[in-house]
Amino acid sequence: MQANDVRVLKSAAIPALVVGLVVTVVSAFLTGVDGALGGALGVLVVGLFFLISLVAVAYASRISPTMMMAAALGTFFTKVLVLALVLSSLSDVTVWHPTAFTWSVILCTIAWTFGEARGFMKLRILYVEPGTRVPGSYGEK
């Protein structure tokens, strides 16, 4: 991973962990140990899903911009489908509180997404190479 990728990971993971901690504490207060377990597992699921996609996109970005876009879209759609399957298949579990799990996943996903977007906006990535000249530009012979 490059330094930019680590910065984006930190800017996305920290808000998600804070939101996850709040959801877990509130769930523990409202529903007991089952709620705390559901909240903590929701944070874990979101963290793993988004970490895998960030690593895949970071790896694909070293290959080519086209591959990076394909990896980003592929991991996004895969993530949405698998997350929907996980939420629907684990809705009747009695080991943890399913409502706490669901709220934890939803709120941590929102926090991670906004944190990641904020992290990318704060990066200073050049999209034009400095010092290059375009042939036929004004003033060139």
Domain assignment present for residue 128? The answer is: no
The C-alpha torsion from 45 through 46 and 49 to 55, rounded to 10°, is -130
Domain ranges, residue 101: 3-122
131 belongs to a structural domain: no
pLDDT digits (tens, 9 = 90+) for 56-100: 888 888 888 788 889 889 988 998 898 888 878 877 778 888 889
What is the token pair recorded at 129? 């190479």
What is the pLDDT, as a whole number, of residue 134?
A: 65
C-beta separation of 59 from 1 below 8 A? no
Q: CB atoms < 10 A from the CB of 2, how many?
A: 10
Query: What is the tens place of the pLDDT at every residue in 12-24?
Result: 899 999 999 999 9
* pLDDT, position 23: 96
Count of domains for the chain: 1
Per-residue CA distances from 104 to 13, 82, 129 (Å) = 14, 16, 42
